[in-house]
Amino acid sequence: MNKNLLKTFSVLLLIVSLLGCKGVSEHKVLKLAHGLDPTHPVHKGMEFMADRLAEKSGGKLTIDIYPSGQLGSEQQCVELLQIGSLAITKVSAAVMESFTRKFKVLGLPYVFTSKEHSFKVFDGEIGKELLLGTEEFWIRGLSFYDAGFRSFYTIDKPINLPEDLEGLKIRVMKSQTAMEMVKALGGSPTPISWGELYTALQSGVVDGAENNPPSLYTSHHYEVCKHYSLDEHTCVPDVLIISSKIWKTLTEQEQKWLQEAADESVPVQRKFWAESVEESLREVQKAGVTIHYPDKTKFADKVQDLLNEYKEDKVLGDLIRRIQAQK
């Protein structure tokens, strides 16, 4: 009798244990890592996405966010993502050029005529085509985040005309299109990692850089560079990407929840971004930075030959024409 009771108890214990394991497996946690500060509008957009995902899934699928490079540099996060050790990260669209040539179109100067034009492209058919075009590299795009227009900032010489760039070493991202653009404008492109740029500016390794207002402010580059010329040459977005390996482990419902949460975070992030741009420009001016508003048409004319060269490319030329048709 005692043996039967012991046997029954053991079976019940096993069933409870199995049920407990099932309950644990129903809660999935996705790790999201990036190199930005928690005050950055992109991070705030990610927080909104995480909150919406938890709400949509009833807590069954959640996101843990690791900001400020806690899990590595941007490149390291991409590598972790490709092997499935990290679920989600944020990269500049310029980084995606190394996976598919199509992303180069987003880094071409003056391909977008306005912020509204860029949003129309990012949110439309072209944007979706780009986001889903890197699956063979174990990367799947979820959405585009606003990273604003990039402009030149320099240590002690304002850039009011393309000719003002002649002889200047300008830091650029490790992007072929960014390097070609600065060359076309007469400057000397110098690829330097973001983390090393402050020191490079301070020591005179480069004479300036190009980026959006929040990056100029949050990086403290304004402490060294006292001229910011809003020529707004490119509108390179950030891309929220997920490991294809991890995406495939999610159920169809979980994929739907995650994609919806990412999509819903886009307009929220854009609102945070617009607020951040206003604050950044206000604060850098308080710190002694002079804001210049050069004639953009002179810069656009200077890079027209470069744009025409890309129009001859079978793949990129078609994309350029499709983008320009959506003005």
pLDDT for residue 232: 97
CA distance 145 to 46: 10
Its pTM surpasses 0.85: yes
- Please, what are the domains in the chain? 2-145+237-279 (3.40.190.170), 150-235+283-324 (3.40.190.170)
pLDDT for residue 194: 84
pLDDT surpasses 70 at 18: no
User: Per residue in 203-242, pLDDT tens?
Assistant: 999 999 999 999 999 899 999 999 999 999 999 999 999 9
How much of the chain exceeds pLDDT 70, in percent? 92
Residue 184 CB partners (closer than 8 Å, separation 6+): 109, 302, 303, 305, 306
User: Per residue in 122-171, pLDDT tens?
Assistant: 999 999 999 999 999 999 999 999 999 999 999 999 999 999 999 999 99
Mean pLDDT (whole number) for 173-187? 93
Which residue is associated with the tokens 């419902």?
253
pLDDT surpasses 60 at 10: no
Q: Indicate the pLDDT class of residue 20, thresholds 50, 70 and 90.
A: very low
Which residue intervals of the chain are DSSP H helices?
2-25, 41-57, 74-82, 115-122, 125-131, 176-184, 197-202, 213-218, 244-247, 252-286, 296-302, 304-311, 314-324
Report the mean per-residue pLDDT for the chain.
91
* Spacing of C-alpha 105 from chain mean position: 15
| 289 and 222 Cβ atoms separated by less than 8 Å | yes
CA distance 41 to 10: 54
Q: Indicate the pLDDT class of residue 265, thresholds 50, 70 and 90.
A: very high
In sequence order, what E strands does 124-168 have?
A: 139-145, 150-154
pLDDT surpasses 80 at 25: no
User: Which of the 8 DSSP states describes residue 300?
Assistant: H
User: Per residue in 94-111, pLDDT tens?
Assistant: 889 989 999 999 999 999
